[in-house]
Amino acid sequence: MFWSEVGNDPQIERSGMDGSERKVVVTRGLSWPVSLSVDTLTDRIYWADEKLQCIGSVSLEGHNVRLLQMTEMPSPFSVVVFNDMVYWSDTRRRTIQVAHKNTGKNRKVLLKRPGQPFGLRMMHPLMQANVSSPCEKLQCSDLCLLAPGLSTGPKAVCRCAAGLLLAGDGLTCSALVDTTFLLLLSPTAVTQIYLSTMHNGVGLTRWPEHHVLSLPGVHQASGLDLAVQDRTLYLADAAQGSVGLLKLSSSGLTPGSRVLNLPDDTVTALAVDWVTLNLYWSSSKQPDLHVTTSRGQHTALLLQPGVQGTTSVALHPPSGRLCFTALGQVNVRSLPQVDCAFMDGRSQKLLWRKAVMPTSLLFSNKGTQLYWADIGAGVIGSILLDGSGYKQFKAGPGLISFTRAENILLWSTLDNDVTRLWFSDGFQPKQLWFEVKTNVVALRVYSKTSQKGTNSCSERNGGCSQLCLAYPGGRSCRCGRGYQPIDTTTCSPFPSLQCPEGSRACSDGSRCLPLTKFCNHQTDCLDQSDEIKCESNPKPV
């Protein structure tokens, strides 16, 4: 299908009839294109341009622009092509005229009336050939659309109305699960919206039906994750350098204990292992990946990928895998990257390095595919865990955060203090759900079925006395800082070290280091404790 756009940047675009393969056909030689007609004999698209007082044409691929201008064409409005002739209506001459489509010769006035002629259509059997439709065999439950196919002709695809999802069979549309809800995080509140409210309307300039949850004791919320089974919200507070627990109920959020307390630091990425309730995290001053037990008693360094900053982390406990987005460094250049590893930190590998600024990383339900928002390029990327099958969906400028529910993509953009929430099934063009004047810093989607599955840590913490970390087909027991393993499952405190004068012990008690080794911007302790809680030294003037 083809369409024209007028305004400051007039253009003619095309796409498949399902909205796929969108492409700009022509932008030059246009001023006010108001009518289109496809010439199937020469594979060209014709248009009428009132301001340029002409009829233009171009190949369907956007090549070889031609303009047809005549003195008897002061105000062409609608155009249609049939065989070798072009027909048009002229609102100033109040006529319907015809001429040769290439030369303008043999011009004639077919009709002249006192009223202004506007829309013009040609009716002829050759204009609509009697061909079989591929939709007849597909049997879509709702909408069947034609899409660009092979050289033999178009293919058929099934699509759903707004608020419905296409099932895995590619044929059936169904309503969103009633329990699926969206959490939108702003610096001082969490807003809960059930996706089923999308049926009540889209394109809203206000909040849909929602529930605002205040954040007691939180100064500047910056990230969140939810353990669905016990309805515990893990919330990062950038102002306090902490991650706290809040219980979600019908009456609101009830504050609990703190999992992390990092003074003068900011958590940049977090994800909850919903099997063990361990928290995986990274921070500005500790950009490596760490893992902490649910009550904050034990913390271990998980990965030292050598990055400048980790922007998001995603977990898939049933398969024992994790992935993260980070800003890495190659020579003196900072390059974004997407890496994956086992949840115990082993088998790290680089998966993707062609993004501009990836964040909002998440797994598909089966754990075989990754999705992320590339806020630098304005696209949503996806890739299989073996590094193949990269795809991207154009989300547009101002992309802030992204999440995914079943087969639907949801993301937010920010423009002039207005946050817009968009959605798509990844095939159809994006649609606006609503827009509000609220600063939304993160999006997450959950349902009763979104955290299903088990691993080797599911029963009695895998037999581990402290941290149980899953990997594909098994689990590793890990000791927190200040503890050492005495066998494969049990930890005991490090014996107290008597460090000589002018030295100090690492927090895990593993060794003594000279005081000059602490806060020197170089990690020497295995647990990195020599570079934690360091005050930045003022630069000499």
pLDDT, position 505 = 86
Q: Where are the alpha helices (DSSP H) in 13-146?
A: 135-138
Strand partners, 327: 309, 336
Q: Contact 39/81 with Cβ under 8 angstroms?
A: yes
pLDDT, position 537 = 43
- DSSP strands (E only) in 187-274: 189-194, 211-214, 221-227, 232-237, 242-249, 252-261, 267-272
CA separation for the pair 370, 383 (Å, rounded):
5
Q: Which residues of the chain have pLDDT under 70?
A: 162-163, 168, 175-178, 329-332, 535-541
CA separation for the pair 202, 233 (Å, rounded):
28
CA distances from 132 to 123, 142, 306, 387 (A): 20, 19, 59, 40
What is the radius of gyration, based on Cα positions, of the chain? 30
CA separation for the pair 242, 258 (Å, rounded):
7
pLDDT, position 163 = 62
Contacts of 157 (CB under 8 A, 6+ apart): 18, 138, 144, 145, 146, 147, 170, 427
Q: What six digits make up the tokens of 209?
A: 């039906």
Q: Within a 10 A sphere around the Cβ of 184, how many other Cβ atoms?
A: 26
Domains within the chain, CATH numbers bracketed: 2-127 (2.120.10.30), 136-174 (2.10.25), 305-394 (2.40.10.500), 477-531 (4.10.400)
Q: Contact 404/371 with Cβ under 8 angstroms?
A: yes
pLDDT, position 540 = 35
Give the count of alpha carbons within 13 A of 137, CB side only. Answer: 5
pLDDT, position 479 = 94
CA distances from 188 to 77, 146, 276 (A): 54, 46, 28
> Could you tell me the pTM of the whole model?
0.70
